[in-house]
């Protein structure tokens, strides 16, 4: 049986959207879905209960704690860890599970990203035009809203420290030969609707990467001027987008510096605009 663990902190607005897609074409009992409502002050648990899922609640508003709680309750493999604010279809979940269930399959897998950018302001679209072309973004398991593992991959994840950049940490736990992006699986990702919320996300990302570099979990790959130059050299029309990306990176780095100096690696700068 395929298990799906969904940590959900105040996700009442979007959780139904995920569960509708995930379970819409599933056979009864096909997926063992565990929704962990962690530290919620809204109706997240109530949204989940009418579905064919098990709902766990905890007063602790911690994603890492919710993942561990859901992991302990999950019953099967392959196992999918899914963010509540994305969309994942039954077919995509099946595709991920099939790759991991193969005898010679990888330890970890993730879907391709489908970003909903059509109605976003141009600076947000420009930022993601560059971000989605970065080699480490294309190859990594992170920022896809889903990481799927087999039982051996799960053991690897359980050994990781609890850090803010949980998906990046999980991605770095596997070598390129141990992980795969599954083209037949698609995750719909909802980027920020405002520049301010994009900045909040980037500040959180920079803070969490610094935390990762200061632990034994490894180091994330940082984007530098050469990366941007390589993209623009290949696609000159993206020169303006590269300027937007660089400006956002500089501003986010300055704001993240305050949290880093204070050693604050727990404040979760949440983007509410993508949940509207």
- pLDDT per residue rounded down to tens, the chain (276 residues): 999 999 999 999 999 999 999 999 999 999 999 999 999 999 999 999 999 999 999 999 988 899 999 999 999 999 999 999 999 999 999 999 999 999 899 999 999 999 999 999 999 999 999 999 999 999 999 999 999 999 999 999 988 877 555 777 888 889 999 999 999 999 999 999 999 999 999 988 878 777 676 665 555 566 888 999 999 999 999 999 999 999 999 999 888 888 777 776 566 667 788 887
Q: In what order do the strands lie in the sheet with 108-115?
A: 54-58, 31-38, 2-8, 79-82, 146-149, 108-115, 179-189, 87-88
Element (H, E) at 69: helix 63-73
The CATH 3.90.550.10 domain(s) of the chain lie at 1-76
Give the pTM: 0.92
Write down the CATH number for the domain with range 1-76.
3.90.550.10
């Amino acid at each position: 049986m395929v298990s799906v663990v969904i940590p959900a902190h105040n996700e009442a607005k979007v959780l139904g959207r995920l569960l509708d897609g995930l379970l819409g074409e599933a056979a009864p009992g096909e997926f063992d879905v565990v929704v962990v409502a962690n530290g919620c002050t809204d109706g997240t648990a109530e949204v989940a209960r009418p579905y064919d899922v098990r709902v766990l609640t905890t007063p602790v508003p911690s994603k890492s704690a919710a993942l561990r709680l859901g992991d302990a309750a999950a019953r099967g493999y392959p196992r999918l860890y899914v963010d509540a604010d994305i969309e994942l279809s039954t077919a995509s979940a099946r595709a991920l599970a099939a790759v991991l269930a193969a005898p010679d399959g990888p330890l970890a897998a993730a879907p391709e990203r489908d970003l909903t950018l059509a109605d976003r302001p141009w600076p947000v679209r420009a930022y993601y035009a560059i971000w989605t072309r970065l080699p480490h973004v294309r190859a990594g398991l992170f920022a896809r809203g889903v990481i799927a593992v087999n039982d051996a991959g799960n053991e690897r994840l359980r050994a990781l420290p609890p850090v803010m950049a949980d998906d990046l940490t999980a991605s770095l736990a596997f070598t390129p030969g141990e992980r795969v992006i599954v083209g037949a699986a698609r995750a719909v990702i909802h980027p920020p609707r405002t520049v301010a919320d994009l900045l909040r996300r980037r500040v959180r990302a920079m803070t969490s990467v610094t935390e990762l570099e200061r632990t034994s979990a490894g180091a994330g790959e940082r984007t530098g001027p050469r990366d941007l130059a390589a993209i623009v050299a290949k696609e000159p029309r993206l020169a303006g987008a590269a300027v937007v990306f660089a400006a956002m990176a500089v501003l986010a780095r300055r704001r993240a510096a305050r949290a880093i100096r204070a050693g604050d690696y727990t404040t979760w700068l949440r983007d509410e605009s993508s949940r509207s």
